[in-house]
Amino acid sequence: MAWYRVGLVAVTNGSGTVTGNGTDFVSNTQPGEGFLGPDGRVYEISQVVSATQLLLVGNYQGASAGGQSYALLPTSSFARDLALGAAQLINTFGAVRDGIGQGLVNGGTVVTPGLRFAADQDTGVFLAGANVLGISAGGTLGASISPGGITAPSAFINGAASVNLAIQKPYANPGYEPARLALGVAQNHVVLEGGAQADNNTPGYFAVKVMDGAGAVQERMRIDNNGNLLVGTTGGGAHTMRRGASGSEGQPILSIGYAPGETAAFFAEAGTAGSSARANLKLNASAQSGRSINAGGTVNASGADYAEYMKKAEGCGPIAKGDVCGVDIDGLLTRSWAAAMSFVVKSTDPSLVGGDVWAQHLDPEPTPPAPEPAAPDNAPTMPDTDDVAAMAQWQSEAQAHDARVVSYPAAYRQWVADKAAFDAAHQAWEAELETARRCVDRIAFCGQVPVNVAGDFAVGDYIIAAANGAGIQAIAIAEAAITFDQYRRRIGKVWAVRDGRAWVDVQHG
């Protein structure tokens, strides 16, 4: 190997420091090699400080001088030391090359994991069984991963003392008991829970619960197996929102709005809900004020008149929309001219209807039975493994499946009986409701109403009630020809003719 002579050096008598100019000591020498100085002596190099500075083992003995020639002498010990070092490396790390160097580690145990940490040797990863990866923490199994998924024996994957995220599968039969996801710190969690219903067979539910500092769980919201959203209650046959048990009449239940302010608010009220007839919206009245709605603006509707329900006299029969009928001495609707004391017209398209109490004497509409129970699914398949935990889980699921198979016929028979009873009760209730409805009719009291008029009519005519044999009909009388007796029987004055019918502003004589 050639000697290195590039650049010049400065040396000082009695000093072991060699300073170079235009040199690169770092790339061309190393400790143990020789330095041939300007004085012709060879010195051993102790340290390569930088590209322009060396330290010698002894002090320079010649005269101090700068800009001097020099030479660096390589020694044969470099190759020998390298060979010895390489042999030692191979002997020391041969097992590493053949093992972890190829990604192979020993299986280990839960106490001494195959892959562990120097400062914490009972924490790491080990082979928990055939095709099962175990995660050990402090010598205890924290979780295992198998082809079937992740299993966490502990209640909380990252510890129960203080958590931000915890997944819980705490029961012996995880296929049918609830699974939980907890979000929070310590015992103050929001718990997201999902699982099967109590019979372990019907479709599952999703619930949001709150765990207080004492560890008590309070359910706040649920989506049940029928897709109903339940807030403040755990059961209901429809989307249901309720205040907590501490609520009382007059307290707010739901507020709807946007940033500047509230748009709509619903309050708890204990008054009646009006008729039991079907409608898109039913509101209870306040037990104190009797009010159902307070509106700050107008109430818009597509109808054209205000009407009220009035009871019919015995034998009145059906009244067509726009027909004129009478009111007898008892305030009941009649088709008899002789019995009529006053005259009214049946509403055609009301915007508001009062007196809607005609069905209050009926019992509440029957409640449908619970959903049809689902038939048992296929029995769980025995695992193809000798793993004790897997066999125990399969046995638990198989027992639960057998129990469902045994209980399903009786549950289905009970559902059929409940459904038949409901159908019969509901049919009877609807018949009673229809009977009650036939006893009343909606009569216009103000607004625009089309009237069925016998004979000719024109805008400006008065529509009055007149005898039609024993019955009642509506006829038109010109304003100039009407008498006071006829005026007292007026229904209204024609102010428009639409689709061949007389439209009047309702007036009762």
For the stretch 338-351, pLDDT in tens is 999 999 999 999 99
Mean pLDDT check: name the lowest of 149-153, 168-172, 452-456: 168-172
Question: Which of the residue ranges 129-133, 139-143, 287-291, 310-314 has the most confident prediction, judged by mean pLDDT?
Answer: 310-314
Pair 404, 197: CB distance under 8 Å: no
At 476 the pLDDT is 95
At 155 the pLDDT is 45
Residue 333 Cα to chain centre, angstroms: 54
At 158 the pLDDT is 45
Q: Is 263 exposed, middle or buried (0-12, 13-18, 19+ CB in 10 A)?
A: exposed
Q: In this model, does residue 166 exceed pLDDT 90?
A: no
Q: What are phi and psi of 435, to 5 degrees?
A: -60, -45
- Give the confidence band of 198 by pLDDT, cuts at 50, 70, 90: very low
- Give the confidence band of 179 by pLDDT, cuts at 50, 70, 90: low
Find the mean pLDDT for residues 470-485. Answer: 94
Pair 341, 318: CB distance under 8 Å: no
At 394 the pLDDT is 86
Q: In this model, does residue 444 exceed pLDDT 90?
A: yes
Pair 320, 337: CB distance under 8 Å: no
Burial state string for 360-396 with b = 16 or more CB within 10 A and e = fewer than 16: eeeeeebeebbeebbebeeebeeeebebebbeebbeb
Find the mean pLDDT for residues 418-422. Answer: 94
Helix, strand, or coil (residue 397): helix
Helix H, strand E, coil C: the string for 4-52 is ECCCEEEECCCCCEEEEECCCHHHHCCCCCEEECCCCCEEEEEEEEECC
Q: In this model, does residue 159 exceed pLDDT 70?
A: no
At 55 the pLDDT is 94
Question: Which of the residue ranges 286-295, 320-329, 399-408 has the most confident prediction, judged by mean pLDDT?
Answer: 320-329
Q: In this model, does residue 26 exceed pLDDT 80?
A: yes
Find the mean pLDDT for residues 90-119. Answer: 75
Q: In this model, does residue 215 exceed pLDDT 80?
A: no
Mean pLDDT check: name the lowest of 139-148, 297-306, 329-338: 139-148
At 78 the pLDDT is 60
Q: In this model, does residue 95 exceed pLDDT 80?
A: no
At 186 the pLDDT is 54
For the stretch 98-107, pLDDT in tens is 666 666 778 8
Pair 13, 62: CB distance under 8 Å: yes
Find the mean pLDDT for residues 221-234. Answer: 81
Mean pLDDT check: name the lowest of 51-55, 170-174, 357-361: 170-174
- Give the confidence band of 79 by pLDDT, cuts at 50, 70, 90: low
At 119 the pLDDT is 87
Q: Which of the two residues, 176 and 36, has the higher pLDDT score? A: 36
Q: Is 474 exposed, middle or buried (0-12, 13-18, 19+ CB in 10 A)?
A: buried
At 202 the pLDDT is 52
* Eight-class DSSP state of 102: G
Per-residue DSSP letters for 259-276? TTEEEEEEE---S-----
Helix, strand, or coil (residue 419): helix
Percent of the chain with pLDDT over 90: 40
